[in-house]
Structure 1
Amino acid sequence: MKKIQILLFSIILSLNFMLAQDTNSFSVQVQVENGIIEGNYDTHTGIQRFFGIPFAKPPVGELRWKAPQPLDNWEGVKETKKFGPRPMQTIVYGDMKSRSNGVSEDCLYLNVWTPADRNTKDLPVLVYFYGGGNVAGDGSEPRYDGESMAKEGIVVVTTNYRLNIFGFLAHPELSAEAPYKASGNYGLLDQNAALKWVNKNIAAFGGDPNKITIAGESAGSIGTSQQMGSPLSKDLIAGAIGESGAGINPTMSPVPLKDAESMGEEFAKNTGYPSIAALRKLSTREVYEIYNESKRFGFPTVLDGYFLPKTLPEIFKNKEQAMVPLLLGWNSAEIPGMAFTQGPYTKENYVNKVKEAYPKEYKKVLELYPHSSEKEIELSATALASDRFISYSTWKWFDLHRKN
């Protein structure tokens, strides 16, 4: 009963917040590359909000599992006052709260908060990529709301990108049909398309296209590291912020294209729809259910020779990344200690798991991550699990950039 009361209270607060925003606002229009959009100007905060701005064609039908395509121009005024649909996903993380308009394959929308008045120009810009393991997430989440930062004089953009099977499936047939002869990485290409849109259009919101900083947390941080290293994105940014994660082994690092294609081919055969043509004919619901039934946790990013021509360590060692300031850090408890111990926090179990993971260096590891009590084992296991999973890759990203 208490949980229901808390949920209802949260919903009421959210509704009141949204109603208050509308009550205190009047409509404002901006000319962007493809037409005129209309958002809200909040007279209490001085912030203009444009939600649900399309930045690419809907990736549906024949555009499912294709790189994002440029938008067509529209006539009249497009209202952009509500968040667009979030990418297809199921509930994976309990801490995610969405304000978006449902779930859909038609999800390539971004949001802008700007403090600009009619004479403002050349404000710094922040483009933020959400976390969620490339299987979940949404640019409308309250924790990514850009209003507080906009009040500090920043134009803030949050953007959606495709997830799980819809955003990262690779397959030989998909590679054959693509002009760049590779597949997968559609979610990362969506991020790149959003960056291109910001570069072309952000001046209309008072932003400076030469002052774009990209940022993200968890999978969004990993995406930031990959955008920083990609030849398609590196010239579009002036800075990068990574908040827990980089696409460097062992953290969601890319796999060779052939391996990703084989993975996708095997997956398709197991579904009973071995061809891409057959998979494209399926409804959103059918693809969604087939993916969920497979129990897969997404698909890996790919060394596609296009967006990612090499691994990030290779790119940075060759000095081929964006030569921009980088600010980063990581969470102290990214995942629970049980992810390492795979069992109880006993001295015997913990020591055995450390020996398995570090057969030659286990004594040093046990010194650094001590185990004198059950509580200490829990803390050490949590620190070790997090360090192994995400802290090392984030540190390595920093180390590679400072050296190169």
Structure 2
Amino acid sequence: MKKLIGLMLVTLVITVGYFYLGASNTEDSELISIQSGQLRGLVDNATATVAYRGIPYAAAPVGDRRWKPALAAASWEGVRDAFAHGAACVQPRTGELGFIELMMDGAGMSSWRKTIVRWFMTISSPGTFSEDCLTLSIYGPSEKNKPLPVMVWFHGGGHKFGAGDASNYDASALAARDVIVVSINYRLGIMGFFAHPELTAESVHNSSGNYGTLDQIQALRWVQQNIAAFGGDPDNVLIFGESAGAHSVGQVMASPLSRGLIHKAIAQSGIGTHQYTPLQNSVGAWRSAEEQGIEFASFVGVEGGNQVLRLRAMSAEQLAVALEENAHLDALSHPVIDGWVLPKSTAATFAAGEQVQIPLMIGTNADEGTLLGPLIGSPFVKRSPGPTTPEGYEAMVRDVYPDEAGTILQYYPIASDAELFDGINRLLGDHLFGMQAWFAANETARHGVPTWLYFFTRTSPAKDQWAGAYHASEIPFVFNSPFPLFPVNTFDAELTDHIMTYWTNFAKNGNPNQPGMPTWSRFQPLDPQEMELGERMGMRAVERREKYEALMIDQYRELGNDPSVVRSMGL
């Protein structure tokens, strides 16, 4: 008991000290010069790292620049102190707190630990939201002897919430392993993905929507032009992200605008192969993004001519709240197939081998659905309520998977009301994330591109945990976050070291392996293996292969605009 209490106190002291004592151990960095001007960052002597925060990588997308592709940032006079994070991009004020609360419950977190996390989230959450948000932060070792690999982080949050500078993405620990980490903000929700016929008519590319994706690509251009000044190698740039950030990885890889900007990729929880909304001309159940844009304008009282002019005059906060009240207009908070940024769906692009051909590490967590299912109907995942009886569940499965319903019900059975919650969550997690990773790994490897597949299984050791290896639970292990989401032990410290080593080795060499660690074999479609990262570490046959294959069939068969996907799978 004394040891346990001691561990609790140490955790609390470390968490508090990270913010209140760490500042006294910093000093100004040397000046560096980039295309926009001179910068001064902060050296953290405790971690031997240096950080440059809140650097503009694009001009503010405000006024008549709202809903237009990002332009290069303006220059400044004198020295810019890059000490503080930039504002987070406009998003509903509800933020991700619902997800955080559910995550704490699912991990079996004690009340005192929940209090610490809530306090931590309060002091470290973005203080302001603004349209003028296109900034990035850079972390690196304070001493650099050669150009270092660059890791560009795309944050998650459903393309609606979040910020690159969120506390759980502090990249100092990664940077201490001789890499340069860049975390970016990009436009979200209605500000990042709004499509409308008038916007399409304005565009020289006959396109609208996808502004958030264009921000990510603009940030990568900025990296090419400036990262050498920070000690980074512009010829060795990896993109990585989790959830919507992983989907962004797939969409950036699928965009021809990214060629020459990226060299490796890591996708944590999916890769965005289930988003098929066309900009124009609705296809089956997929309503066009422009059609949804017109409906949204009508909801906020804008009809008739010159709709975009009037929408640009409205406050960004008002528009963000309005979209939350119309969550069925899901095309307005996700990338769409516009013929320019995304010539076709991510799935079709990967199936044809037309994505940027770079080594890919991809994987999912064992229990992706446990936290997302209960959030249906919340501000984070606002959708219609799911089925409430086994009969309703079976009807849903037969509607979504008409040709494979029998197989799906066999793999994901629900025989009683008591099994409903877990059954839906298992199906949801595999459908949204596991199947995507399986598909992308197969298609990437099938075209001869080096591919590595993982499956994260670590669960909280707390006796009251029920969420398993839930969505986003791998993030503290990737970043060595300054506080644990569940009690720390020696095993978790070792697992964190292994994961960080695999990730940074992949950034450095395009291969995660290192002597003395479990060997991670390349993915082979004819003998599919995955690296288990959890209580056990090592290669094994892909555990859910048959489930993933069953889930894919109807999803791709129904998309008549993507026959290449179906043909590539031999269906």
- Structure 1 length-normalised TM: 0.89
Aligned-partner Cα distance in 2 for 1:256–1:85: 30
Contact 2:67 2:191 in 1 (8 A): yes
Structure 2 partner of 1:6 = none
* Residue 339 (structure 2) pairs with residue 305 (structure 1): yes
Structure 2 partner of 1:73 = 75
Structure 2 partner of 1:332 = 366
* Residue 137 (structure 2) pairs with residue 103 (structure 1): no
Equivalent positions of 1:196-211 (< 5 A) are 196-211=221-236
Aligned-partner Cα distance in 2 for 1:23–1:40: 11
Aligned-partner Cα distance in 2 for 1:170–1:341: 27
Equivalent positions of 1:4-403 (< 5 A) are 16-28=17-29, 29-90=31-92, 91-94=94-97, 95=99, 97=121, 98-117=124-143, 119-249=144-274, 252-258=275-281, 259-274=288-303, 275-295=307-327, 298-336=332-370, 342-344=386-388, 347-371=390-414, 377-403=420-446
Contact 2:154 2:164 in 1 (8 A): yes
Aligned-partner Cα distance in 2 for 1:319–1:343: 38
Pair 283,13 (structure 1): closer, same or farther in 2 beyond 3 Å: farther
Q: What amino acid sits opposite 1:256 in the alignment? A: L
Contact 2:95 2:162 in 1 (8 A): no
User: Shift of the alpha carbon at 1:57?
Assistant: 0.6
Contact 1:255 1:300 in 2 (8 A): no
Aligned-partner Cα distance in 2 for 1:396–1:89: 31
Aligned-partner Cα distance in 1 for 2:312–2:391: 51
Contact 2:40 2:82 in 1 (8 A): yes
Greater mean alpha carbon deviation, residues 335-344 or residues 195-204: 335-344
Pair 11,108 (structure 1): closer, same or farther in 2 beyond 3 Å: farther
User: Shift of the alpha carbon at 1:140?
Assistant: 1.2
User: Shift of the alpha carbon at 1:372?
Assistant: 5.7
Aligned-partner Cα distance in 1 for 2:16–2:66: 34
Pair 113,70 (structure 1): closer, same or farther in 2 beyond 3 Å: same
Aligned-partner Cα distance in 2 for 1:270–1:131: 28
Aligned-partner Cα distance in 2 for 1:363–1:311: 28
Q: Secondary structure at the match of 1:330?
A: strand
Greater mean alpha carbon deviation, residues 47-56 or residues 233-242: 233-242
Q: Secondary structure at the match of 1:272?
A: coil
Aligned-partner Cα distance in 2 for 1:329–1:211: 22
Aligned length: 391
Pair 289,352 (structure 1): closer, same or farther in 2 beyond 3 Å: closer
Contact 2:88 2:130 in 1 (8 A): yes
Aligned-partner Cα distance in 2 for 1:270–1:374: 38
Aligned-partner Cα distance in 2 for 1:52–1:171: 31
- Structure 2 length-normalised TM: 0.64
What stretches of structure 2 of length at least 5 have no aligned partner? 1-10, 101-120, 282-287, 377-383, 448-571
What stretches of structure 1 of length at least 5 have no aligned partner? 1-9
CA RMSD of aligned residues (A): 2.6
Pair 318,290 (structure 1): closer, same or farther in 2 beyond 3 Å: closer
Greater mean alpha carbon deviation, residues 215-224 or residues 135-144: 135-144
Q: What amino acid sits opposite 1:253 in the alignment? A: Y
Q: Secondary structure at the match of 1:210?
A: strand
Pair 56,358 (structure 1): closer, same or farther in 2 beyond 3 Å: closer
Greater mean alpha carbon deviation, residues 159-168 or residues 120-129: 120-129
Give a deviation string over 1:136-190, Cα, whole Å, max 9, x none: 1111112211111111111111100001110000111111212222110000000
Aligned-partner Cα distance in 1 for 2:401–2:315: 47
